[in-house]
Amino acid sequence: MRFRPLHSSVAAAAAAAYKPHPEARLLRRLNPISSMAADPPPPPLESEEDPDERLCAALDSYSFSDPPPLSPTELIGRPLSGEIRVVRAWAHWNRLGAPKLVIAPMVDNSELPFRMLCRKYGAEAAYTPMLHSRIFAENEKYRSMEFTTCKEDRPLFVQFCANDPDVLLEAAKMVEPYCDYVDINLGCPQRIARRGNYGAFLMDNLLLIKLLVQKLSQNLQVPVSCKIRIFPNLQDTIAYARMLEEAGCALLAVHGRTRDEKDGKKFRADWNAIKAVKDAIGIPVLANGNIRHMEDVYNCLDHTGADGVLSAESLLENPALFAGFRTMEPKEDNADEIKGNGGLDQAELVVEYLKFCEQYPVPWRMIRSHVHKMLGDWFRIHPQVREELNAQSKLTFEWLHDMVTRLKELGGGIPLYTQANTAARAAICNS
C-alpha cells in the first residue's frame, strides 16, 4: 500500500492510523529495505510456491551485508502448521519430564563433570558449553576435548555458535544421537562474539538467524532450541521470539538482559520481558537471570509463567543450589551441628567434583576454574592457599586433594551450605 498525498491532512490521518505488523517493523528496522512502511502480512498464497525457497533463491546473489531483495513481511515467511509445530514441541518436552531446573551453558564451565555434580544435587537438565560450529565440524581434537557426555547426562542441550547454516548443520549432525536439543547461541554478548559475528551480534541480521533455525529444524531428528537476549524495546523482543518460533524453534530460553547489559551483578534481569515472550508464543520457554537460590526459582516461575529456569554464575559457586542449599556464615561452635542436620561444606563439593573429573577427564583449565569458584569463600579467609593454587603451573588430583585437606585443617568459620527452601523446591518440582 502506498499513500498518495492528494491532500496533506488525508495522508497524515492515514499514516497515523496505519500500524504495520510488529515482526515487519522489527525486521524493517534491523534490515532496512525501503523508506516506505510495510503492508500487513498478506493472506496465505494460493500457489504451491514456497516463499522460503524464493527467499533462499533470491539471496544466492547477495551477501548478508546487502539489503535483501524482498519486503520485510516476506522475511517472516508463510508460517508452517503452527498448531502441529507447538504440539510436537510440547510432546518432546513432556517426554523429557518437563524439567524445570536447568544448568545454563557456560564456556569452559558447564562441562560433563560439573553437569554430573549439579545433576546429583537437583539439576534436571543441562546445556553443554558453547561449541564453535566450524571448529567442531573440522577438528576432531576439538570435538574430543570439548564435547563429552554419558548415558546419565540427559536431558541434554548441545549448544553451538554459528553464522553459516550449512556448517551449523554439519556440526549438529555429529551430536544429534547424543542430545535432546541442538541449541543455537543467539545471546553471547562478549567481544569475541562480535569479532566472530555470532551470538547476540546476530540480532542485527534476523534473516541469517531465520535461515540458521530453519536449516536445523528441517534437517534434524531432534528439535532445535535457541537462547536469546532481549531487545531494549519489548515489542521488538516479542516479534523476535515469534519469528524464531515460526522458523522452527521448539524451545526458547530467554536471558532477561540486553546485549549491552553484560554485567549480571550490575543489571537486573527483566522478568517482565520474559513473561511477555511466554505469553506471546506457544512453545516452552525457559527463564534466565537473577536465579541465586530456590526462592528466586519459585518467584521467577510464578512471575514469568516460564516452564523452567536456567542458572549459571550462582551454580558455579553453589552446585547444590537446585537441591535447596544456600550459603550462610556459621559460627565455629555450630558448624558441626549444621553439618549433622544435612549441611554441606564447599570442600566436600570440590572433592565430589574432582571424583567426577577423574571419571570423565576434562582439560585442567576447566578444573582450575571450578575450584576457584567453589572455594571462593574459603580463599577469602585463607588467601595464602589461593596463592599456592595460582602458583601451580601443572595441577594433579593428588595436589588438589591435599589442598582441600589443608583448608579443612585451617578451619575458621568457613561458610557452609544449609538445606533451606525445601518447601519451595517441593512446590516447584511437584507443580
- Could you report the per-residue pLDDT of 78-89, keeping only the tens digit for each? 444 678 899 999
The predicted model gives 114-140 an average pLDDT of: 98
For the four alpha carbons of 364, 367, 368 and 369, in that order, the dihedral sign comes to positive
CA gap 165, 5 in Å, rounded: 44
Confidence check: pLDDT of 424 > 80: no
Confidence check: pLDDT of 61 > 60: no
Give the Cα-Cα-Cα angle 95, 174, 213 (nearest 5 degrees): 65
* Distance of alpha carbon 227 from the chain centroid: 4
The predicted model gives 22-40 an average pLDDT of: 39
CA gap 309, 285 in Å, rounded: 9
Name which of 84-88, 140-144, 164-168 the model is least confident about.
Answer: 84-88
Residue bearing cell 586433594 = 401
Domain ranges of the chain: 21-37+49-77, 82-323, 330-414
Domain 82-323 has CATH 3.40.50.300: no
- Virtual CA dihedral for 373, 375, 376, 377, nearest 10 degrees? 150
Write a three-state SS string for the chain: CCCCCCCHHHHHHHHHHCCCCHHHHHHHHHCCCCCCCCCCCCCCCCCCCCHHHHHHHHHCCCCCCCCCCCCHHHHHCCCCCHHHHHHHHHHHHHHCCCCCEEECCCCCCCCHHHHHHHHHCCCCEEECCCEEHHHHHHCHHHHHHHCCCCCCCCCEEEEEECCCHHHHHHHHHHHHHHCCEEEEEECCCCHHHHHHCCHHHHHHCHHHHHHHHHHHHCCCCCCEEEEEECCCCHHHHHHHHHHHHHHCCCEEEEECCCCCCCCCCCCCCCHHHHHHHHHHCCCCEEEECCCCCHHHHHHHHHHHCCCEEEECHHHHHCCCHHHCEEEECCCCCCHHHHHHCCCEEHHHHHHHHHHHHHHCCCCHHHHHHHHHHHCHHHHHHCHHHHHHHHHCCCCCHHHHHHHHHHHHHHCCCCCEEEECCHHHHHHHHHC
CA gap 380, 378 in Å, rounded: 5
CA gap 344, 350 in Å, rounded: 11
Quick: pLDDT tens for 358-375.
999 999 999 999 999 999
Quick: pLDDT tens for 182-191.
999 999 999 8
pLDDT of residue 54: 40
Quick: pLDDT tens for 321-345.
999 877 665 444 545 555 555 567 7
Active site residue 188: yes
Quick: pLDDT tens for 402-414.
999 998 888 765 6
Set 118, 161, 179, 188: catalytic member: 188
Residue bearing cell 530467554 = 254
